Chains A and B, each alone.
Chain A
């Protein structure tokens, strides 16, 4: 009845997630939401990797995905730290109000 799911389905989903994440990064003003959009893109990468890993019948893709998650954790921790330091000094998280340096 329904067509079986193929690797291409996963790739399309991943592309859609990447696009939504890009929209968030380019259009939103709130820095916290921008950081969440970066997490979305990293998840798109992981969907891609897992799909390819299964398609090629290898484990390398899964291992790569573990490293991607590890990097996402590290980035989130440092990024939120930077955000707190900024908020303490400037009392804003809106990207276009952070304009001491010419953007």
Chain B
């Protein structure tokens, strides 16, 4: 088993690729902020 050593700027060990499809236009409808 390879030992993973993170380096500055990478996103860590990548083990999964998925398709992510917005349900609304993320460029015009900012994600709702979390209520305080």
A and B assemble together:
no
Residues of A near any B CB (own CB < 8 A): none
Enumerate chain B interface residues (CB-CB to A < 8 A). Answer: none
